[in-house]
Copies of this chain bind each other. A is one copy, B any other.
Amino acid sequence: MDTREILEQLQKEQITLDQADHLLRRQPYEELGYAKLDMHRKVRSGCAEVIFCQGKADDHLLSIFSHLYEADGEVFGTRANEHQYALIREKFPQVSYDDKSHIIKIEKEDKTHIGSIAVCTAGTADIPVAEEAAQTAEYFGSHVERIYDVGVSGIHRLFSQLDLIQSANCVIAVAGMEGALASVLGGLVDKPVIAVPTSVGYGACMEGLSALLTMMTSCANGIAVVNIDNGYGAGYIANQINHLAK
User: In the complex, are the beta carbons of A151 and B219 less than 8 A apart?
Assistant: yes
Contact B153 A186 (CB under 8 A): yes
Q: A245 at interface (Cβ–Cβ under 8 A)?
A: yes
A11 to B18, CA, bound (A): 11
Interface size range of chain A in the complex: 35 or more
Is residue A227 within 8 Å, beta carbon to beta carbon, of the partner chain? yes
A223 within 8 A of B: yes
Which residues of chain B are near A205, meaning CB under 8 Å?
213, 217, 227
- Complex partner residue of A244 from B177, B189, B191, B223, CB under 8 angstroms: B191
CA distance A39 to B231 in the complex (A): 30
Interface membership of A141, Cβ < 8 A? no
Question: Which of chain B's residues has its CB closest to A179's CB?
Answer: B214
Interface flag for A216 (CB, 8 Å): yes
Q: Which of A65-73, A85-93, A105-113, A196-204 contacts B (4 or more CB under 8 A)?
A: A196-204
Q: Is A44 part of the contact surface with B, judged by Cβ < 8 Å?
A: yes
A118: chain B residues at CB < 8 Å are none
| Chain B: minimal CB distance from A181 (Å) | 9
A188 with B155: in contact, given A10-B10, A218-B180, A224-B226 (CB under 8 Å)?
yes
State the CA gap A205–B246 with chains docked (Å). 34
Question: In the complex this chain forms, how many copies of it are found?
Answer: 8
Q: Is A95 an interface residue (CB 8 A)?
A: no
- Find out whether the CB atom of B214 lies under 8 angstroms from the CB atom of A180: yes
A180, B183: Cβ atoms closer than 8 Å: yes
A97 at the interface (CB under 8 A from B): no
In the complex, A211→B151 CA distance in Å?
Answer: 18
Query: What would 13 A/B residue contacts be, using CB atoms closer than 8 Å?
Result: A7-B10, A10-B11, A36-B154, A38-B153, A45-B222, A153-B220, A178-B179, A202-B229, A203-B212, A204-B227, A210-B217, A213-B213, A244-B245
Q: Give A contacts to B, CB under 8 Å.
A: 3-4, 7-8, 10-11, 17, 20-21, 24-25, 27-29, 33-36, 38, 41, 44-47, 50, 55-56, 60, 122-125, 127, 148-157, 160, 169-170, 177-180, 183-184, 186-192, 194, 197, 199-230, 233-234, 236-237, 240-241, 244-246
**The 3 A-B residue pairs with the shortest CB-CB distance in the complex, in nearest-first order:** A203-B228, A224-B224, A180-B180
Given contacts A55-B125, A122-B219, A180-B180, 10 further A-B contacts (CB under 8 A): A7-B24, A33-B148, A154-B187, A178-B180, A180-B183, A203-B207, A203-B216, A203-B230, A213-B213, A241-B244
